[in-house]
Structure 1
Amino acid sequence: MTATGEPILEAEGLVKHYPLTRGVLFKKEIGAVRAVDGVDFALGRGETLGIVGESGCGKSTVARLLCSLERPTAGSIRFKGEDITRLSGRALKAVRRNIQMVFQDPYTSLNPRMTVGDIVGEPYEIHPEAAPRGDRRRRVRELLDVVGLDPDYVNRYPHQFSGGQRQRIGIARGLALRPEVIVADEPVSALDVSVQAQVINLLARLQTEFDLSYVFIAHDLSIVRHISDRVAVMYLGRIVETGRDAEIYDHPTHPYTQALLSAVPVPDPGARERRERIILGGDVPSPTDIPSGCRFRTRCWKARERCAREVPALAVPEVFAKGGGPTAHDSACHFAEERRVVPPEDPGGPEAPQATVNGNGPG
């Protein structure tokens, strides 16, 4: 997946398997949880890449790998062209300063025994070269002001804040070292809808103000569309479709993307009544027992014999390659087909039928 500008962060063949063992004294590996199983993407400078998918598809594992909180089983992560997966010690510490993370749950990501001033200023203790000791308190107050909090809150504790305010504290902590990349792992999923909009708008403003590049992870496609330049859709450890936001939302070609879009809330009542609902049958396969061929075939209404034999490549489908246009974006499907799930606003018009799908065809 190509970045729209100069790439600052790249992943190639990224794999993370967690071994399954049996025994107590003599442990024997009997399998592996294939959380991430071959992910490729590039993040451009000043760009926001949204990664979406169901719970358990590997999004958060990708986030931890990008921040070097975990080591990949295989593959590489390059920051400004340098492979950071083999770094350690001071070299890894220097890279971590430039790639910071905003965590999902604002209630558990902040130490309840530390004041807000200590939480936001803690990165300066780990990276003392980032700020002189006598200047740190002033910088913490400035960061609180930047994220929309009263600088006088530095002596308060996390339990004295609401969920949205706590997430603002987490964002301020992520900005403390002036990173170039921020990995936001579902930063608004634990917040009320009204607060979600405030935090998303804050992140958009900070991106311009601090010249940031974002990897924005979420399961809500409507939120990702609001902030992302490009979108990657993940299913069972792999990216199945990727493209610019308009290409993915208005011209999806992969059946899984179409199913996800059909579940997105639509504010327009007319469009909501006419949209086609795609209800997938069956459950997501276990990451310890990945289906052969296409991973989505056990829930796909288009599945054929070829889908069980061949792994579809993430590339522009041949049927769309010559014509170009918004459908000519990467999609890992043997039978890719454009399908507008949510119709454009149109006064009147018949209501679209509801489609129930499973592994054997339309129900």
Structure 2
Amino acid sequence: MNRPSPQAPEPILEVSGLVKHYPLTRGVLFRKQTGAVKAVDGVDFVLRRGETLGIVGESGCGKSTVARLLCSLERPTAGRIRYRGEDITRLSGRALKAVRRNIQMVFQDPYTSLNPRMTVGDIVGEPFDIHPEVAPKGDRRRRVKELLDVVGLNPEYVNRYPHQFSGGQRQRIGIARGLALRPEIIVADEPVSALDVSVQAQVINLMERLQAEFGLSYVFIAHDLSVVRHISDRVAVMYLGRIVETGTDEEIYEHPTHPYTQALLSAVPVPDPEARERRERIVLSGDVPSPAAIPSGCRFRTRCFKARPRCAVEVPVLAVPEAFRSEGGPAAHDSACHFAAEREPPPGPVPRREPDGHGAASAP
């Protein structure tokens, strides 16, 4: 995988203070807002040209909402999303349409994201109907066949329907549709979670190849830590609407400092039975709080094994912990915890997917 050079590429997407609250109302004739579901509650990150940012977290933490906000499928309650320095949250009409051409999305479920009444040729070619300037009308069928060939499908499948394909093939069709307009950014919302492990490896390797070929930048959203480590240059861990830790894949997987990240990594399956017996699991108590009633102070404190009275009154800042600022090293990365510290590494390493001799990623 290509890693960022020492001279980091320029940011292509900058997200600051991103918020999305869904109002809770009561009444029929006279609706009154009684609260809000805080799906995303202050997210900040930067995506650089040609890199992959992985976003991980439990179901319901706000990952998919972030994806929809980045693609302007929903409007944020507050915050800014800057693409090439321009705040796209304030755009509409033709200006927003032009930006959407460069930020495309691959959806989570390959079985519901494709219209069953449309042929593959119509599905992949539909972006050309919305952006006719990309491909002349007489040239579109050829372009569609080229896209199918790029993602590893037979170009002669243009007249087939989605039900005639397997899950992995359907996801390739979704990727071809995302590539149709030659975007700069692809937001992939759990693109392999509905697929079996062997097909996951094929799709992930395809995405890596396309990134190198087309110079794409990815926001890759998933809950499978092994998949995220394989494809990502940097990783952001989300909990209850906020990013609680961010860094390179080595910093997050080998030197986590936030208790939530450490708990997630302790639950990753280890293929070595002896190492699995020796390692110490972190079992979190309680359930994830409702996003409509977020705890005061640190939102993770109700389940945290390090919680202190300070955690209930003071919101931790996402920054390099003070204990590591002078030392430097891989532990010196952003972590939103008052008591951030490294944990003793488990006896068995966190499994990662490496390419095998045939170019496919191996299963965890």
TM norm structure 1: 0.93
Q: Does the residue aligned with 1:130 lie in a helix, a strand or coil?
A: coil
| Pair 1:290-2:298 in alignment | no
Cα distance in structure 2, aligned partners of 1:4 and 1:223: 24
Cα distance in structure 1, aligned partners of 2:236 and 2:347: 22
> What is the one-letter code of the residue matched to 1:307?
C
Aligned to 2:177: 173
Aligned to 1:94: 98
Aligned to 1:275: 279
| Pair 1:186-2:219 in alignment | no
> What is the one-letter code of the residue matched to 1:223?
V
For structure 2, the 5+ residue unaligned runs are 1-6, 350-364
Aligned to 1:158: 162
- Inter-CA distance 114–208: structure 2 relative to 1 (3 Å threshold): same
Note the alpha carbon deviations across 1:244-294, whole angstroms, 9 max, x for none: 000000000000000000111223344333322111110000000000000
> What is the one-letter code of the residue matched to 1:339?
R
Q: Does the residue aligned with 2:333 lie in a helix, a strand or coil?
A: coil
Aligned to 1:308: 312
Aligned to 2:19: 15
For structure 1, the 5+ residue unaligned runs are 346-363
| Pair 1:67-2:77 in alignment | no
Note the alpha carbon deviations across 1:319-354, whole angstroms, 9 max, x for none: 111100000000000001101453356xxxxxxxxx
Note the alpha carbon deviations across 1:144-190, whole angstroms, 9 max, x for none: 01101000000000000000000000000000000000000000000
| Pair 1:110-2:118 in alignment | no
> What is the one-letter code of the residue matched to 2:341?
E
Q: Is the 8 A contact 1:276 1:341 kept in 2?
A: no
Aligned to 1:132: 136
Q: Does the residue aligned with 1:233 lie in a helix, a strand or coil?
A: strand
Aligned-residue offset at 1:14: 0.2
Cα distance in structure 1, aligned partners of 2:143 and 2:293: 50
| Pair 1:53-2:62 in alignment | no
Aligned to 1:232: 236
Note the alpha carbon deviations across 1:121-154, whole angstroms, 9 max, x for none: 0000000001011110001001001101000000
Cα distance in structure 2, aligned partners of 1:223 and 1:274: 24
Cα distance in structure 2, aligned partners of 1:312 and 1:272: 33
Root-mean-square deviation (CA), in Å?
1.1
Aligned to 2:257: 253
Q: Is the 8 A contact 1:240 1:254 kept in 2?
A: yes
> What is the one-letter code of the residue matched to 1:70?
E
- Inter-CA distance 96–341: structure 2 relative to 1 (3 Å threshold): same
Cα distance in structure 2, aligned partners of 1:122 and 1:224: 30
Q: Does the residue aligned with 1:187 lie in a helix, a strand or coil?
A: coil
What is the number of residues matched between the two proteins? 343
Q: Does the residue aligned with 2:302 lie in a helix, a strand or coil?
A: helix
Q: Is the 8 A contact 1:120 1:140 kept in 2?
A: yes
Out of 204, 208, 231, the position equivalent to 1:204 is 208
Q: Is the 8 A contact 2:272 2:348 kept in 1?
A: no
